[in-house]
């Protein structure tokens, strides 16, 4: 018998829409999806997936074609790490419940094809969503989100199936959404609100008169609201430009550094002071950058390269110390095919260190962080010397 409490039926002028609210790691959701699609025999089955996520949950070789050096050179390290962190969370929950994450979406596609329904991917590209979320978030919100993800992996809590099923109840979902809105409003805007609009309009544009849409329970209320009127979704597929201040600061740093050195030399007429300032710049920037690499358990040669590169890359807006360190680490500890195959098996923070691919990403990210801290610590110290 079909559980009606997680099903919403919306009758429009030319369409009958059936929304199934699921938990992405729920056995009950998978059963519900199969039973509903079989009974309704819809013209179209829509699933809350984009092309990339669809390939991720259906392909066993999803990471094998990844070019780690290209990710580092294209400065997509943080984005890729965020993707891995989110995947790890879902994988860990799925392991606790002995079910593959996204199984209900795979079931929806399988049952839909069996019923000769057209399959439509409803969600926005995951990379666009992550990039928009990161661009929209303030520095404080970025730290909050990163901290939550990391602590969740370091101190994993056992998750019971009963708890997951409770998360599908509307009152609890609403409470969670409100909490996310309070803690990280920019993230909620992009991850929830924008996707509600996007998914709703993809449903409205789907072919056929009867449509079954399989979506996360947390999106149901928002989708229902936006099914009332069709909207343009092209603007939601664009990635906003980053803050101009960040670009200005990147070019200001070498200018400030050179100004401090020049002023110190001209004002004091001291070669010794100039050499001392250059030495402190090298030591502070290099040491903190190397410390970042060390925290990522990088190879000793990578740590040395981070130390040497940081004082120079900090004065070059086009390249970071993390790029240098990441490429050196990738050369010394070249990832094996097994490392790429095992990326989807990472469920703990320790797992990020054991896998060569994810450790290279950590090396690049933490080296960059250390170099940034070193830059902003060194400049005031140099000014204090004059």
pLDDT digits (tens, 9 = 90+) for 133-148: 878 888 777 777 666 6
For 133-137, 152-156, 326-330, 334-338, which range has the lowest pLDDT when averaged over its residues?
Answer: 152-156
Burial of 51: CB neighbours in 10 Å, binned 0-12, 13-18, 19+: exposed
Mean predicted confidence (pLDDT) in 363-375: 92
Closest-CA residue to 126 (of 191, 185, 203, 76): 191
Query: Given this model, what pLDDT does residue 317 score?
Result: 83
Cα 243 to Cα 77, 134, 136, 240: the distances in Å are 19, 11, 10, 9
Q: For residue 76, what pLDDT is reported?
A: 67
The number of folded domains in the chain is 2
Sign of CA dihedral 266, 267, 272, 273: negative
Nearest to 178 by CA among 168, 164, 193, 163: 193
Q: Does residue 267 sit in the same domain as residue 193?
A: no
Final residue belonging to a domain, choices 198, 219, 237: 237
Claim to verify: residue 97 and residue 182 sit in the same structural domain: yes
149 with 63, same domain?
yes
Query: Would you state the pLDDT for residue 134?
Result: 78
Mean per-residue pLDDT for 250-270?
85
CA 342 to each of CA 51, 52, 287, 339: distance values in angstroms, whole numbers, following the listed order: 21, 18, 33, 5
Q: Is the pLDDT of residue 53 over 70?
A: yes
Q: Per mean pLDDT, which of 61-70, 149-158, 296-305 is the most reliable? A: 296-305
The answer to whether residues 193 and 273 belong to one domain is no
Q: Which residues contact 160 (CB under 8 A, 6 or more apart)?
A: 96
Domain limits for position 285: 244-384
Q: Which residue has the higher pLDDT, 246 or 310?
A: 310
Same domain, 215 and 260: no
Same domain, 129 and 179: yes
Q: Is 167 helix (H, G, I), strand (E, B) or coil?
A: coil
Comparing 14-18, 62-66, 259-263, which segment has the lowest mean pLDDT?
62-66
Q: What pLDDT shows up at residue 89?
A: 53
Whether residue 249 sits in one domain with residue 193:
no
Rounded percentage of the chain residues whose pLDDT exceeds 90? 38
Average pLDDT over residues 56-78: 65
Give the confidence band of 343 by pLDDT, cuts at 50, 70, 90: low
Are 231 and 267 in the same domain? no
Split at pLDDT 50, 70, 90, the class of 318 is confident
Task: Compare 204 and 271 and report the one with higher pLDDT.
Answer: 204
What is the C-alpha separation between 197 and 219, in angstroms, rounded?
A: 10
Q: Poorest-confidence range of 11-25, 62-76, 86-100, 297-311?
A: 86-100
Is 53 found in the same domain as 20? yes
Q: Residue 87 — pLDDT band, cuts 50, 70, 90?
A: low
* Rg for the chain, CA atoms, rounded: 25
List the 7-11 sheet strands across, edge first.
Answer: 7-11, 16-22, 210-216, 44-47, 118-121
Q: What mean pLDDT do residues 13-38 have? A: 85
pLDDT at 302: 96
Q: What local confidence, expressed as pLDDT, does residue 284 receive?
A: 96
Half-sphere exposure of residue 299: CA atoms within 13 angstroms, side-chain side: 15
Residues 326-348, mean pLDDT to the nearest whole number:
76
Of 237, 256, 285, the residue that ends a domain is: 237
Task: Decide which of 182, 213, 237 is a domain's last residue.
Answer: 237
Same domain, 227 and 101: yes
pLDDT greater than 90 at residue 367 = yes
pLDDT of 22 strictly over 90: no
Q: What is the pLDDT of residue 229?
A: 86
Max avg pLDDT among 31-35, 307-311, 317-321, 380-384: 307-311
pLDDT at residue 150 tops 70: no
Question: Cα separation of 140 and 59, whole Å?
Answer: 36
Residue 172 in this model has a pLDDT that exceeds 50:
no
Mean pLDDT of 67-84: 68
Asked whether residue 35 falls in the same domain as residue 175, the answer is: yes
In this model, does residue 31 exceed pLDDT 50?
yes
Main-chain phi, psi angles of 365, to 5 degrees: -70, -45
Please indicate, yes or no, whether residues 114 and 15 belong to a single structural domain of this protein: yes
* DSSP bridge partners of 204: none
């Amino acid at each position: 018998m079909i559980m009606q409490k997680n099903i919403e039926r919306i009758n429009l002028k030319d369409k009958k829409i059936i929304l199934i609210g699921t938990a992405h790691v729920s056995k009950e959701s998978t059963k519900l999806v199969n039973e509903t699609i079989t009974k309704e025999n819809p013209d179209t089955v829509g699933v809350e997936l984009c092309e990339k996520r669809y390939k991720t949950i259906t392909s066993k070789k999803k990471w094998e074609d990844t070019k780690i050096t290209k990710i580092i050179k294209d400065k997509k390290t943080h984005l890729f790490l965020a993707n891995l962190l989110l995947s790890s969370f879902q994988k860990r929950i799925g392991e606790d419940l002995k079910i593959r994450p996204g199984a209900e979406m795979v079931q929806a596609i399988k049952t839909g094809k069996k019923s000769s329904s057209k399959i439509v991917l409803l969600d926005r590209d995951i990379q666009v969503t992550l990039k928009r979320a990161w661009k929209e978030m303030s520095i404080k919100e970025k730290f909050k989100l990163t901290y939550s993800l990391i602590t969740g992996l370091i101190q994993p809590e056992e998750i019971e199936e009963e708890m997951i099923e409770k998360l599908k109840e509307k009152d609890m979902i609403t409470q969670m959404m409100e909490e996310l809105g309070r803690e990280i409003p920019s993230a909620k805007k992009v991850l929830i609100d924008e996707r509600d609009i996007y998914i709703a309009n993809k449903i409205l544009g789907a072919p056929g008169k009867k449509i079954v849409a399989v979506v996360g329970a947390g999106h149901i209320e928002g989708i229902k609201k936006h099914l009332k009127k069709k909207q343009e979704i092209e603007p939601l597929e664009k990635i906003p430009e980053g803050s101009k201040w960040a670009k200005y600061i990147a070019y200001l740093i070498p200018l400030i550094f050179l100004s401090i050195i020049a002023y110190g030399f001209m004002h004091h007429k001291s070669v010794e002071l100039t050499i001392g300032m250059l030495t402190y710049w090298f030591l502070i920037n290099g040491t903190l950058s190397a410390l970042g690499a060390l925290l990522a358990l990088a190879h000793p040669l990578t740590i040395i390269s981070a130390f040497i590169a940081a004082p120079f890359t900090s004065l070059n807006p086009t390249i970071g110390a993390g790029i240098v360190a990441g490429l050196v680490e990738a050369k010394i500890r070249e990832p094996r095919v097994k490392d790429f195959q095992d990326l989807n098996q990472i469920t703990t923070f320790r797992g990020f260190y054991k896998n060569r691919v994810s450790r290279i990403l950590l090396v690049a990210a933490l080296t960059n962080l250390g170099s940034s801290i070193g830059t902003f610590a060194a400049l005031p110290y140099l000014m204090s010397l004059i």
